């Protein structure tokens, strides 16, 4: 059974789109740990596009591309999207109910005329009436927006308080954190113009392809779809998830496809000039991102508290965290900075911007104690180390787990295990607990010498 943590949302009013003097006013209610911060007040310069982008975020959080058989009858409440204001950017983030699809909309400074009252990260209320109203936004009408309200406005405005309690499964929370680890490993593999992207999306199968991995590659007439891997191709399972982007394609200037080396996830970025949307898809819809464990290695080496603390002190809602510059500034090696950034990402303190190729500061509005020690494999590996269950013998290692003795062998610089987890995934979903413990012990030995 999946454990769930109850996330409470408390909004002083419901987000709404209301007619204003010279157009419409989008009031987004904020909620973060009992506070109702006020971040932004201004006007969007491409109202229709922003309305569609926000609708896409709403549709993503409400989507569920995979329903486990045992939860078929259970209604899964959608978690509210997250907005980050910092470095002159407004970023709206959402995660599908099944934990297989992550969406982020970046509104760059050219997308708005307004001011940032404050920087920070908070949940915002997205509701069905607001989304219905967004569908009526027209390009030639002004769209004003405020994220949160000033205290004065809060006092003068009435409105019904909105309270929601959403049980967030731990796998969902883990997935939300794991997405950053994947994004940080991705590289841009394919690029297409807006027109080519539109043509490609229209050629995608209408039915679900959740059982057959498809490979997207550059073909003679733009992007093409095949069933076998080709050089430079990007793997994608269940292209249904891409339908979320369909309403935006007519306006897109470019499409960029990112993928990690092991083809375990892909990210689809649509560029609109002053705005961007990035849809990150897990390798399989049933897998989500929670069981991936890409950051486990960084987490188990969590002994560099000095680097972590130094880096944390530098977080000031920057839109980009330049690892090289930070390394120079903090007099640390780039590896230590990168490792610390990975750990911060796994704690929900930074996100990753694929377009910029760098992390950015954003603190997920989740309870800190939820985020700590989320990974069962990490905990199990630590237990193995504590029990001194790992024995290294050159290119071999033995790990005793309960009454079972697993044999590990080193091949091409990495450990391979005989446990069912490793046998099934071959290390593509992160190391198993045995490999993790062996690596940690090996590193401890190296450090000691």
Partner 1 sequence: MSVFSAENDLERAIQAGDPDSVCRLALALGEREREALRPRLRLLHKRLEVRRWSPSDAELLRWWGQPVTTSQAAALQAGIYLCGNLKDVHAAHVRDDLLLPLAKAHRPAWVAELAEESVAWQFGTWQAFHLAGLCPRPQGEAYLLRLMASARWRKDLDATLAADPGLYDGTLLRLLEIEGNADTSLAGVDKYSGSKLGTWTEFFLEQMQTGRIARSDVLDRLLAALECDWPQFRSGWHSRLHGLMQPSVEEMAARCARYRGLCHSRIPPTVTLALEALGQLQQAGVLPAAELLPALRAASATAVKSHWELLLRLLTEAVRQAPDQAAAAAQVALQGLVLEAPPLQKKLLLFIKAHGDVELRAGLADYLALIAPSNQALLQSLLPQPAAPTAPVALALPPARPPLSPLAPERRLTPIADLDELLERAAYLLENEQDCDELERVIEAMTRLAPQVQEQAARFKPLLKRAAKLKKALARDFGQFLVLALGGAALPSPNSWDYHCHTHSGHHLLVQRLAELAAWVRSGIACAPLAVATHRGGFIDPAVLLQRQLDWPAALPEPSEREQRSALQRLAPGPHPTVLAQLQALPPTAFRLAFAAALQQPPTAPRPYQWRFTSETWQHGEQSGVHHRAFIEPEPKGAPNQLAWLALHQPGAYFGEGYREHQTEGMVFYAASLQPAHLEDVLAEGARRLSNNLDWWEAQWPNRAFLQLLLNPCTPMTPMALHCLAFGLAGKEPGQTAVAVDALLQATLQGRLQPKAIGTLLGTLLNGPMLKPARLAKALAAAKRLDPLGPRLVLEVLQALVAALESAPKDLGSLLELLHETGLELQAPLPTPALERLTTLACVGRAKALQKQLLG
Residue ranges binding partner 1 (CB under 8 A): 48, 52, 59, 75, 128, 131-133, 135-140, 193, 195, 198-199, 202-203, 205-207, 209, 211-212, 214, 219-222, 224-228, 246-247, 249-250, 396, 404-407, 409, 416-420, 422-424, 426
Q: CB of 409: closest distance to partner 1 in angstroms?
A: 5
Instruction: Tell me whether residue 306 or residue 405 sits nearer to partner 1 (CB atom).
Output: 405
DSSP state of 139: T
Instruction: Tell me whether residue 161 or residue 396 sits nearer to partner 1 (CB atom).
Output: 396
Q: CB of 248: closest distance to partner 1 in angstroms?
A: 9
C-beta of residue 223 within 8 angstroms of C-beta of residue 193: no
CA distance 391 to 399: 6
Q: CB of 199: closest distance to partner 1 in angstroms?
A: 6
Q: CB of 246: closest distance to partner 1 in angstroms?
A: 7
Query: Which residue reads 């849809």 in tokens?
Result: 279
C-beta of residue 359 within 8 angstroms of C-beta of residue 326: no
Instruction: Tell me whether residue 161 or residue 195 sits nearer to partner 1 (CB atom).
Output: 195
**CB-based contacts of 40, cutoff 8 Å, min separation 6:** 85, 90, 112, 114, 115, 116, 117, 145, 146, 147, 148
CA distance 212 to 104: 26
Instruction: Tell me whether residue 66 or residue 406 sits nearer to partner 1 (CB atom).
Output: 406
Instruction: Tell me whether residue 284 or residue 322 sits nearer to partner 1 (CB atom).
Output: 284
Instruction: Tell me whether residue 368 or residue 409 sits nearer to partner 1 (CB atom).
Output: 409
C-beta of residue 417 within 8 angstroms of C-beta of residue 434: yes
Q: CB of 242: closest distance to partner 1 in angstroms?
A: 13
Q: CB of 247: closest distance to partner 1 in angstroms?
A: 5
Q: CB of 422: closest distance to partner 1 in angstroms?
A: 7
Question: Exposure string (b/e) for 235-257, b if CB count within 10 Å is 16 or more?
Answer: bbbbbbbbebbeebbebbebbbb
Instruction: Tell me whether residue 67 or residue 320 sits nearer to partner 1 (CB atom).
Output: 67
How far apart, in Å, are the Cα atoms of 197 and each of 186, 218, 230, 268? 20, 11, 19, 11
Other beta carbons less than 10 A from residue 230's beta carbon: 13
Q: CB of 210: closest distance to partner 1 in angstroms?
A: 8
Instruction: Tell me whether residue 114 or residue 293 sits nearer to partner 1 (CB atom).
Output: 293
Pairing of strands 23-28, 142-147: parallel
Instruction: Tell me whether residue 43 or residue 210 sits nearer to partner 1 (CB atom).
Output: 210
Instruction: Tell me whether residue 120 or residue 291 sits nearer to partner 1 (CB atom).
Output: 291
- 77 phi and psi, to 5 degrees? -75, 145
Q: CB of 343: closest distance to partner 1 in angstroms?
A: 31
H or E element at residue 328: helix 323-330
How far apart, in Å, are the Cα atoms of 247 and each of 55, 145, 223? 10, 22, 19
Instruction: Tell me whether residue 38 or residue 131 sits nearer to partner 1 (CB atom).
Output: 131
Question: Exposure string (b/e) for 144-168, b if CB count within 10 Å is 16 or more?
Answer: bbbbbbeeeeeeeeeeeebebebeb
Q: CB of 232: closest distance to partner 1 in angstroms?
A: 14
**∠ at Cα 283 (281, 288), nearest 5°?**
70
CA distance 283 to 100: 8
Q: CB of 132: closest distance to partner 1 in angstroms?
A: 4
């Amino acid at each position: 059974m999946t454990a769930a943590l109850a996330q409470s949302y408390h909004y002083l009013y419901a987000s709404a789109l209301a007619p204003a003097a010279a157009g419409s006013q989008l009031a987004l209610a904020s909620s973060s740990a009992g506070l109702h911060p006020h971040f932004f007040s201004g006007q969007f310069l491409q109202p229709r596009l922003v309305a569609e982008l926000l609708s896409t975020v709403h549709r993503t959080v409400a989507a569920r591309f995979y329903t486990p058989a045992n939860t078929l009858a259970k209604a899964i409440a959608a978690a509210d999207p997250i907005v980050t204001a910092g470095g002159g950017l407004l970023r709206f983030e959402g995660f599908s109910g099944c934990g297989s699809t992550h969406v982020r909309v970046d509104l760059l400074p050219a997308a708005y005329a307004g001011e940032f009252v404050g920087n920070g990260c908070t949940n915002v209320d997205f509701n069905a009436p607001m989304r219905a109203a967004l569908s009526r936004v027209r390009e030639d009408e002004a769209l004003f927006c405020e994220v949160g309200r000033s205290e004065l406005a809060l006092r003068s405005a009435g409105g019904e308080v909105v309270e929601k309690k959403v049980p967030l499964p731990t796998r969902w929370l883990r997935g939300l954190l794991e997405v950053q680890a994947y994004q940080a490993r991705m590289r841009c593999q394919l690029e297409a113009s807006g027109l080519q992207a539109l043509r490609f999306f229209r050629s995608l199968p209408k039915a679900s392809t959740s059982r057959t991995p498809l490979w997207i590659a550059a073909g003679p007439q733009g992007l093409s779809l095949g069933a076998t891997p080709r050089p430079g191709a990007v793997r994608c399972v269940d292209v249904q998830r891409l339908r979320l982007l369909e309403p935006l394609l007519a306006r897109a200037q470019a499409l960029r496809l990112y993928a990690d080396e092991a083809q375990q996830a892909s990210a689809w970025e649509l560029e609109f000039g002053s705005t961007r949307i990035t849809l990150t898809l897990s390798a399989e819809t049933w897998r989500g991102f929670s069981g991936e464990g890409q950051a486990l290695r960084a987490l188990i080496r969590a002994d560099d508290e000095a680097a972590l603390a130094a880096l944390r002190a530098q977080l000031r809602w920057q839109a980009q965290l330049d690892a090289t510059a930070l390394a120079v500034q903090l007099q640390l090696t780039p590896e230590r900075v990168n490792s610390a950034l990975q750990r911060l990402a796994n704690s929900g303190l930074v996100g990753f911007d694929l377009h910029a190729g760098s992390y950015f500061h954003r603190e997920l509005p989740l309870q800190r104690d939820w985020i700590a020690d989320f990974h069962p494999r990490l905990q199990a590996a630590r237990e193995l180390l504590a029990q001194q269950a790992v024995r290294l013998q050159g290119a071999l290692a033995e790990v005793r787990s309960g009454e079972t003795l697993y044999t590990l062998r080193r091949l091409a610089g990495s450990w391979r295990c005989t446990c069912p987890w490793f046998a099934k995934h071959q290390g593509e979903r992160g190391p198993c607990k045995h490999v993790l413990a062996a690596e940690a012990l090996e590193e401890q030995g190296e450090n000691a010498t």
